[in-house]
Structure 1
């Protein structure tokens, strides 16, 4: 079996980090090293990790808080595996995550240097929604048009990709996975594994819940990849901007961005839906989207494949 390096960046997550660690230690695929990179925690993370005696665990301290990508990069530099798998400290692997990811990569075409898996998403411990890995991604345009590869916890790559592409961008506070994939897909393919191999936990501590930081990071991303983005359909980026403006209660700007998304990609029903929702102000937008979320939840929870409703629900997700 090939050695796999699992990299977990963490910052002040000692109260939930053990969940992620144990999901790795309990893998059916046993030939791995677990690299935990502490990004300047002040909550007793080191003491908590010292309770584990497994020789496969490597603990690294950065000393000060530099951000998740800086922690991931340090893990990459210290890794020894043929493959690198990422896991955020608030998420979990299914027991056969590594086994299925490595099995796929060992038999994949040479152009496939990475895989992404389906994931189930949980809010306060309760199933919320799911994201299914469906398509082979082989162009940055696919990411720019509609981000559909989940996040770092679903990614496993061949470690030699970093011979051609730079490490992760440490300046970005959000959209880090999107930035990385735009660069990755200029050289390689990312293949899907449809099995649900990640539990993704949603909570208020995530940077992704801060609209100002997300909006700033999105503008950085657009500026960084300007040439690539100009060649692509930019509907999804306008759509993403729209949501950040909603969170800032800037509804006129949100409406403008949703309208720009429609203009860029007029066949996407979800863009029309959110433009319509934005006409009812902040409270109306939230109410309509809460209703949508409940409908999507029922669809996913009980597998309500009712035509044509299922087509609309899939587009709303």
Structure 2
């Protein structure tokens, strides 16, 4: 098997047919689909079973009996379980509400990896898809500058196709295998190459879990990733700049970490070494993040600032 597509689903009954259909319509046939469902209760599992009866689709359903629910960890568990049963030489991951827009995506990505053994992954652009509008953004072009990822830029995991060898060689992080955690593992495993085509539509939904998360929650998740990175001994010098901002933000608001809505994150970090959240909560005085900044990190931060400026400018022009 050349390629395994992992689809992560939770209550995506309105969108699953679009997601699965965009895989089945590809001009490529050496692939399998693995759907990991997070215990949906909206009829998604029935849709998955119907597809599995007539197509090359494996699936499993996760039980939802966890003491606390953290979406990033649940998604990570689904991806890791799917990787265990994947037969493909290469892997790509798709959310159940997103879909591919380029029917040559599988062929183009696998052909590149077949002929460029020095690369661990290939990346292509995506477009944001809204109910009333559809707008292409050039996020993929920035990912040629790896320093931008280290400075905190988001790289959508569904834009990647990566070698399963990354998983087989135990190069993934232990806990965090969601969008950012898996992208981090890909980034330190080797080079990735960006293709100019737009191949995936990222559906923007106002009521999604990530849209409802506040800035402190997002910063906490970054520090959970940092804890995993430190425990796995996967820290590299350039990656320090990625964590400067969430470290600073959480330290300035350390009293809020004791609020009930953040308890599940604190509990998820207990029992593991390098418990950064606990250290922040237990600190009695205001402490500035003690991170040494080298030349690469300064360039990373400057790139991030320029990226944010041009992104805001683009949105203003686009709205006009």
TM-score between both structures, scaled by the size of structure 1: 0.70
CA contact (8 A) 1:39 1:71 kept: yes
CA contact (8 A) 2:153 2:304 kept: no
Report how far residue 121 of structure 1 moved. Answer: 1.0
Q: Counterpart of 1:152?
A: 157
Equivalent position SS for 2:238: coil
Report how far residue 237 of structure 1 moved. Answer: 3.9
Q: Equivalent residues in 2 for 1:96-175 (5 A)? A: 96-108=104-116, 110-130=117-137, 131-133=139-141, 135-136=143-144, 143-147=149-153, 150-167=155-172, 169=174, 171-172=175-176
Measured in 1, the distance between the counterparts of 2:152 and 2:303 equals: 13
Measured in 1, the distance between the counterparts of 2:250 and 2:22 equals: 33
Measured in 2, the distance between the counterparts of 1:117 and 1:273 equals: 18
CA contact (8 A) 1:134 1:194 kept: no
Measured in 2, the distance between the counterparts of 1:273 and 1:60 equals: 39
Q: Equivalent residues in 2 for 1:212-291 (5 A)? A: 212-225=216-229, 231-232=237-238, 234-238=240-244, 265=298, 268=302, 271=305
Measured in 2, the distance between the counterparts of 1:124 and 1:193 equals: 27
Which range moves more in the overlay, 22-31 or 123-132? 123-132
CA deviation vs aligned residue, 1:239-268 (integer Å, no higher than 9, x gap): 5678999xxxx9xxxxxx9xx9x9973873
Equivalent position SS for 1:180: helix
Equivalent position SS for 1:7: strand
Q: Counterpart of 1:296?
A: 314
Measured in 1, the distance between the counterparts of 2:20 and 2:54 equals: 11
CA deviation vs aligned residue, 1:96-137 (integer Å, no higher than 9, x gap): 2111111111111x2212111111112334124512335557
Q: Counterpart of 1:67?
A: 74
CA contact (8 A) 2:120 2:186 kept: no
Q: Counterpart of 2:23?
A: 24
Which range moves more in the overlay, 192-201 or 217-226? 217-226
CA contact (8 A) 1:93 1:197 kept: yes
Q: What is the aligned length?
A: 270
Equivalent position SS for 1:185: helix
Q: CA, structure 1 residues 58+273, in 2 after alignment: closer, same or farther (shift >3 Å)? A: closer
Equivalent position SS for 1:124: coil
Which segments of 5 or more consecutive residues in structure 2 lack a partner in the other structure?
Answer: 66-72, 257-287
CA contact (8 A) 2:90 2:162 kept: yes
Partner residue of 1:195 out of 194, 197, 211: 197
Q: Counterpart of 2:261?
A: none
CA contact (8 A) 2:148 2:303 kept: no
Are 1:54 and 2:54 an aligned pair? Answer: yes
Which range moves more in the overlay, 215-224 or 24-33? 215-224
Measured in 2, the distance between the counterparts of 1:273 and 1:189 equals: 21
TM-score between both structures, scaled by the size of structure 2: 0.69
Q: Counterpart of 1:76?
A: 83
